[in-house]
Amino acid sequence: MAAGTTALPPGLLSSPQLQGQQRVALLKALEQLTADAFQSSLATEPTAIAAVAALGGGSAAEQQLLKAALHQQLTGIPDYSPAFYAVLEACAHRQQLQRDAVVGALSSLPQHGFDQLDRTLIVHAALVSGAYVAFHRKWLRAVQGNSLAAELAAADAAGQLPRELYNHYTIIVKANEVAAICDELDDWIAVLTEVGTEHVDDVMAAYFQRRPGRLSQEGLAGLRASMAGIYYVPFVTGVSMHFRFAGQSIPNRSEVRREHGVKIYFDMASAEARAAAAKELALQVVADPSRAEAINAEDSIVYLVAPHEIGHAIYSLDNLREVIKPVTKTLLEEPRAELTTLHTLRLMLEGSHLAQEQVECLLCCFMLEDLRRFQAWHSGATRPYTVSAMACWARAEAVGYVTLNDQGKVAAFLERSSRLFERILDAEDAMHGGAVEAILAEMEACSSSSGVQHLVRLLHKPAAPPPQQQEGAEEQQQQQQRLQQAAT
């Protein structure tokens, strides 16, 4: 779907809701108007009709589509299935509505409030984002959900893929689609506000200064060159349509991070959607519903997501790529970053940067936000986060934190998490690949713990089969009933 191919609802750009709105407030108003337009078109817009049908039809399917298209939450839709791709098409249409509205508003409304530079960046970002859709569709079908992808994944898990296949310059060429992107490419985004992560940075820097060794010093250099900001993202494309981050750090390459640090963006809209989803799940799990009030999007970004993303800049497992399997790096890097967050919470508590009550609330938020990993138990895309969540909940169960939330249990849980975190750091310092592989095996083994299995049973709802499979099953059941009646 190329940019500029949707028809905006008549009168959208002259809506009273846009009167007097400028800059980010204008973009947010456009986002709400196009979301309302998409929701109103579920029964008439072709991609929405197809997606609802692929999900089984009815109001439940419509609600599932709205969660996917408006909040990038595809839980319960099997990865890379026909329903997944049908939903992705509808998501692309919803995002194109937003892109066209933004381009139209910044091209026709005289009081939009952006200067020429910002306007040019945003408009061209919309064009690039739209052009990327066709490439992402072809790329995704090429690398996931097919027999070759399954064969490569199995070989990877067995450690049988040649290392030459793993490099930063692997390119899948879709010439026509890439050409369209290159024609529109331009950088963009406007920083809204700096995130107050100074205490987090200071605590982390003081800790890593005390650790001997090359990796610690290189990580410190990267930390000092890092920056973080909250951004408003008016439209998304590609993988962000089905896996939207609350925070993300760039670049990925260790040598570039060491030299230039990491640049971290935080997406408040995504964090708020994640918090709302986490509260729904928490109310299904916790005995005391008031615990769900610990989930706070802003606190999560500053105290939980920020140290996680900064943690990627320090002691990245990319340092061990020659002594561990690629799949180990993939599966353990996110758990290691999550442990960075827990370790930092412990340091901030011990250094009196945070009060006991604040840490208790933040830790409760951390645990409850992890519940979505059990809801998406079989998702391959989120598997590294699932490994982290099940190991985290298993540790919490072992120390009694999930049943008794007093000071001793909080301290015991954070202390155990710090021990695991430092085991990984020590293994990295020693370049001991075997130790890292063993730690990952321990974390994956937590899938059988009673607490983890309880959460999976409670939260994971296997996706319903496609309608044609349901019809076939019903027909088979009816045939069996007829045979039984004939036999009697």
Task: Express each pLDDT in 279-324 by its tens digit.
Answer: 999 999 998 999 999 999 989 998 999 889 888 877 878 888 889 9
Residues paired with 249 in a beta bridge: 264
Q: For residue 161, count other CB atoms closer than 10 A to its CB.
A: 17
Task: Tell whether the model's pLDDT for residue 161 goes beyond 70.
Answer: yes
Buried b (16+ CB within 10 A) or exposed e, 372-392: bbbbbbebeebbbbbbbbbbb
Report the C-alpha gap between 425 and 439 in whole angstroms: 11
Instruction: Calculate helix-pair angle for 433-445, 407-429, nearest 10 degrees.
Output: 150
| Percentage of the residues of the chain whose pLDDT score is greater than 70 | 86
3-state SS assignment for residue 404: coil
Report the C-alpha gap between 296 and 115 in whole angstroms: 34
Stretch 261-272: mean pLDDT: 84
Stretch 8-30: mean pLDDT: 94
Which of the residue ranges 8-17, 179-188, 364-373 would you say has the lowest mean pLDDT? 179-188
Task: Tell whether the model's pLDDT for residue 465 goes beyond 80.
Answer: no
Specify the amino acid at residue 302.
V
Residues 401-433 pLDDT 10s: 876 444 458 889 999 999 999 999 999 999 999
3-state SS assignment for residue 247: strand
Q: Note whether 187 and 121 are within 8 A (CB).
A: yes
**pLDDT for the residue 172:** 67
Residues 173-205 pLDDT 10s: 677 777 777 666 644 443 334 445 566 778 888
316 or 109: whose pLDDT is higher?
109
Stretch 249-265: mean pLDDT: 76
390 or 6: whose pLDDT is higher?
390
Task: Tell whether the model's pLDDT for residue 446 goes beyond 90.
Answer: yes
Q: For residue 112, count other CB atoms closer than 10 A to its CB.
A: 19
Residues 45-96 pLDDT 10s: 999 999 999 999 999 999 999 999 999 999 889 999 999 999 999 999 999 9
**pLDDT for the residue 167:** 62
Q: How confident is the model at residue 116 (pLDDT cuts 50, 70, 90)?
A: confident
**pLDDT for the residue 464:** 55
Which pTM does this prediction carry? 0.74
Q: Please, what is the average pLDDT of the chain?
A: 84
**pLDDT for the residue 121:** 83
**pLDDT for the residue 474:** 46
R_g (Cα) of the chain, nearest Å = 24
Q: Which of 213, 206, 230, 2 is nearest to 96 (CA)?
A: 2
Stretch 13-18: mean pLDDT: 95
Specify the amino acid at residue 410.
V
Q: How confident is the model at residue 371 (pLDDT cuts 50, 70, 90)?
A: very high
Task: Tell whether the model's pLDDT for residue 233 goes beyond 90.
Answer: no
175 or 241: whose pLDDT is higher?
241
Residue 245 is given by DSSP the state -
Stretch 125-130: mean pLDDT: 90
Report the C-alpha gap between 292 and 281 in whole angstroms: 9
Task: Tell whether the model's pLDDT for residue 268 goes beyond 50.
Answer: yes
Specify the amino acid at residue 213.
G
**pLDDT for the residue 403:** 67
Specify the amino acid at residue 55.
L
Stretch 17-24: mean pLDDT: 94
Task: Tell whether the model's pLDDT for residue 340 goes beyond 90.
Answer: yes
Residues 26-52 pLDDT 10s: 999 999 999 999 999 999 999 999 999
Q: Note whether 338 and 308 are within 8 A (CB).
A: yes
Report the C-alpha gap between 87 and 64 in whole angstroms: 9
Specify the amino acid at residue 262.
V
